[in-house]
């Protein structure tokens, strides 16, 4: 098995993430206090760890569903073409919906999925992103709640991958590529 050509420097600790999720969950509970049941829609695959931790902090009736969209593949750069790879199983018409994203970068994926979900007429649609890179934004879109604003760094961990690796790290780490000696 070959060694990766990069190292990962911790950027946001697991403890810091957990504390922030508690705060975000409190705000979400207040916002959706009168809902019969909140439909939490996770954008796969990078958001699955965030969703698991977030819904455990939501002391309210929740339903979890997933949608998978891609604009990256195995690349570090967005293709700007968003494809839906897996759609929701349930109906969201007339329901309170919280769309969960791992990271908002160019904004193409989040914008596309928000517009798609709006066509299904939810009663209310709010968004939350664990990470936000506003310096990379190409489309004017902003999540209702954001865990952390980060600089333009390539990050992995806590569900976020690079070519399907490093999702299992308990923290967010910055990828630092190694120089290839001659």
Q: Which of 105, 132, 140, 161 is catalytic?
A: 105
Main-chain dihedrals φ then ψ at residue 84, nearest 5 degrees = -90, 115
Q: Which string of DSSP letters, residue by residue, matches 26-77?
A: HHHHHHTTT-S-EEEEEEETTTHHHHHHHHHH--S-EEEEEEEEES-TTSSS
Rounded distance between C-alpha atoms, residue 82 and residue 85, angstroms: 9
CA distances from 111 to 10, 17, 42 (A): 29, 25, 14
Residue 105 among the catalytic residues: yes
> Token pair of 53, please?
């931790």
**What are the φ/ψ torsions at residue 48 (nearest 5 degrees)?**
-65, -35
Show which residues are catalytic. Answer: 105
């Amino acid at each position: 098995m070959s060694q990766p050509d990069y190292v990962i420097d911790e950027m946001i600790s697991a403890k810091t993430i957990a504390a922030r999720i508690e705060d975000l969950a409190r705000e979400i509970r207040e916002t959706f206090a009168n809902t019969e049941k909140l439909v939490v829609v996770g954008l796969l695959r990078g958001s699955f760890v965030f969703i698991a931790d977030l819904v455990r902090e939501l002391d309210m009736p929740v339903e979890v569903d997933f949608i998978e969209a891609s604009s990256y593949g195995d690349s570090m750069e967005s293709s700007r073409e968003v494809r839906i790879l897996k759609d929701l199983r349930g109906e969201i018409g007339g329901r309170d919906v919280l769309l969960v994203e791992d990271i908002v970068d160019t904004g193409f994926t989040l914008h596309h999925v928000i517009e798609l979900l709006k066509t299904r007429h939810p009663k209310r649609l709010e968004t939350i992103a664990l990470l936000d890179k506003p310096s990379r934004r190409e489309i004017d879109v902003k999540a209702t709640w954001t865990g952390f604003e980060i600089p333009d760094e390539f990050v992995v961990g806590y569900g976020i991958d690079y070519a399907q690796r490093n999702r299992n790290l308990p923290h967010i780490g910055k990828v630092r590529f190694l120089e290839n000696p001659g």
